[in-house]
Amino acid sequence: MNLTIFLEGLIIGFSIAAPVGPIGILCIRRTLTGGRGAGFISGLGAATADACYGGVAAFGLTFISGLLLKNQVLLKMAGGIFLLLMGARILFSHQSHKEMKRGSEGFIGAYLSTFFLTLTNPMTILSFAAVFAGLGIAGIGKNYFLATLLVSGVFVGSALWWLILSGSVGIFKERLSTYELWINRISGCVIMGFGILILLSLLLQ
């Protein structure tokens, strides 16, 4: 039973992390310019946020989920603006991967930025709640041990995806090192595009 709960959490965390979005693009770009470590640490920030949202759903913390969903417009706005600024910074970046490692975008900054960006999407709570309900584990929060196992599985599953992604992209790092300027331009534009879409979605609500 305990192992099953953990494995269910692992599969859920992996599945929710896998779709490529702005975090995925950011992880790929950081892997290509800063190495597997930079990409994986970025992914761990997202995995931590996924675990936080998974914990809110697993433990049935309706007060927190309600508060986040009530303020989702502000959170999305913050996330959209942050993506625009980050995308613009990447677009006009001329740093080499060695300079990036020593510069302001260190591992802590990489971790915190993806953690923040993932947290600005409170709809993730609804995704976890829906999946938990579908699997019949929505009321697991009454058992703190099992709920903790489930959330741990979510974190491990999400982290596993980012490990696979950064490891796979890292294979091409040396081959693509000469195209770093284009990598910055393309990833910067894509990330800014996600930011614009988020802000436009707020206007259409």
- Per domain, the residue ranges of the chain are 2-72+94-183
Question: Span 108-116, mean pLDDT?
Answer: 90
Tokens 């915190």 found at? 112
Question: Span 57-65, mean pLDDT?
Answer: 75
Share of the chain above pLDDT 70, in %: 87
Is the whole-model pTM more than 0.75?
A: yes
Question: Span 75-80, mean pLDDT?
Answer: 86
Q: Please give the mean pLDDT across all residues of the chain.
A: 82
Give residue 153's pLDDT.
93
CB 199 within 8 A of CB 81: yes
Q: Which of 140, 110, 115 is nearest to 128 (CA)?
A: 140
CB 177 within 8 A of CB 95: no
Question: Span 181-199, mean pLDDT?
Answer: 86
Phi-psi domain of 121 (left: phi exceeds 0; alpha: psi -120 through 50; beta: other): beta
Confidence of residue 133 (pLDDT cuts 50, 70, 90): confident
